[in-house]
Amino acid sequence: MSNHSNKKVYIKIAVLFTFLLLLTGCISSLIHTPQEEPQSTEITIDAPAIETVAEAPAPVPFSVFYAAGRITGAMYEPAMGAYLGAWLGPGMTKAAFEELADKKHAVFTIELNISDGFPTTWILQSIAAQAAPLIILRLPEEDEGDFPLVELAAFAHELGSFNLPAFVVFNPPNPGMEYEDYVLLFRYARILFRTYAPMAAFVWHGYDSSAAPESPFYPGHDVVDWVSLEALAPQGSEGFITDIPALLKPFYLSFQEHKPIILLPVGVGHFSRRDYIYRVPQAAEEIARIYSSLGDNFPRVRMVVYGNHGITTPQGDNFSLTREEAILRAYSEVIADSFFLSKLIPGEADGPLLMRSALHGYYYQGEVFIDLEILEARPHRPLPAAVKEIGGRMYVSTNDVNWMKVSADHIRQVIYIQ
């Protein structure tokens, strides 16, 4: 090959090498690691812009509790917590139920008519389970005008012979009764049981959530030890027909200063013949919500009795805990809390009690607000000049009230006033 040809080859190689170097530099300028990339100006600008335009959080509603004076507790009322109870359907023993629920229960329930006679076997089973009996005792409707003195005295004497703590829900009222006759009968029955079964606490069952001490069917504080309310939540086509905490609230506000309260029974439906649909996950969540709400919102609910029945209503609602594993598991988990008591603790509720206010408060923009009416109920105290309207009512910031001690539990959403 000639020198001239060699020069042409060298020139071509040099040009090609130079081109490769330039190409490599271009590619390396396009391919780089993420940490070498400068922060996008969009991110730097957008982050504070989002914070600036974000809407202020809405007011968060809080329940309001205030410290009441000292109270003397009712028979067997615990100072804190609620007795765990169950009302079992046919075929379920107390031992089997407690094994499934994975916790001992303090109370078991039976319902019977005075004409059925005394449930000796069932009482013995309660003693064996180390649980207190709760007896719902009904009188025959056709004999409402007659006072079954002999039968009631015999029943009370039989119960007293066992010498054990017990609860008697006496003849729950219904709208068809004459309230004068009902109250007189209740008061007579209380005298009999005080005489022959002095360890039995007498329970008045509210006919609905509007029942109050002023109700014509209420026999009087002197003959009532506890009060109770039915709390059933059947399934509807669009969720639960009853919101149990909302149902309980007016009844609770009426009786909290006077008597401990029993939920008798609690029942959450997971199946209904209305539509033949199972709603097991929803029922499990609702049971957990109801039980976990009691201590924070209704501290004088001192007993909760779950009605472990099958289909018990004309609409075909099934409230059973033990038919569905997910429901039983939800129940077992929520009652594991120490708030739910497995045995009676008599005579400890003697001291100050927190009362729930019918009014409520809010947490809003870093401040705690309470309803102006709460302050107006204390006429000898100065009212702050500044008020804030929330939801159509007037509220006052507790920062402007220096004559009361206020604390807020943000987890439980509760305001405490002393």
- Cβ atoms of residues 289 and 283 within 8 Å: no
Q: How many CB atoms lie within 10 A of CB 373?
A: 14
* CA proximity to 97, closest of 309, 394, 391, 284: 309
Structure tokens at 290: 């109801």
DSSP string for residues in 86-117: EEE-TT--HHHHHHHHTS--SEEEEEEEGGG-
Judged by phi (left if over 0) then psi (alpha if -120 to 50, else beta), residue 210 lies in alpha
Show pLDDT as tens, one digit a residue, over the chain (418 residues): 444 444 443 434 343 344 434 333 433 333 333 333 333 333 232 322 222 223 457 888 888 877 766 677 899 999 889 999 999 988 899 999 999 999 999 999 999 999 999 999 999 999 999 999 999 999 987 655 567 889 999 999 999 999 999 999 999 998 788 999 999 999 999 999 999 999 999 999 999 999 999 999 999 999 999 999 999 999 888 889 999 999 999 999 999 989 999 999 999 999 988 888 899 999 999 999 999 999 889 999 999 999 998 767 778 899 999 999 999 999 999 999 999 999 998 665 555 677 788 787 888 888 888 888 877 766 666 777 678 888 888 888 888 877 777 888 888 788 888 7
Q: State the DSSP code for 311.
A: B
Q: State the DSSP code for 399.
A: G
What per-residue confidence (pLDDT) applies to 40? 32
Residue 56: helix, strand or coil by DSSP? coil
Angle at 347 between CA 342 and CA 348, to 5 degrees: 75
- Cβ atoms of residues 221 and 261 within 8 Å: no
Residue 240: helix, strand or coil by DSSP? strand
What per-residue confidence (pLDDT) applies to 383? 72
pTM: 0.78
- Cβ atoms of residues 203 and 227 within 8 Å: yes
- Report the chain's C-alpha Rg in angstroms: 34
Structure tokens at 256: 């909290």
The structural domains of the chain, ordered by start, are 76-346 (3.20.20.80), 352-417 (no CATH)
What per-residue confidence (pLDDT) applies to 350? 58
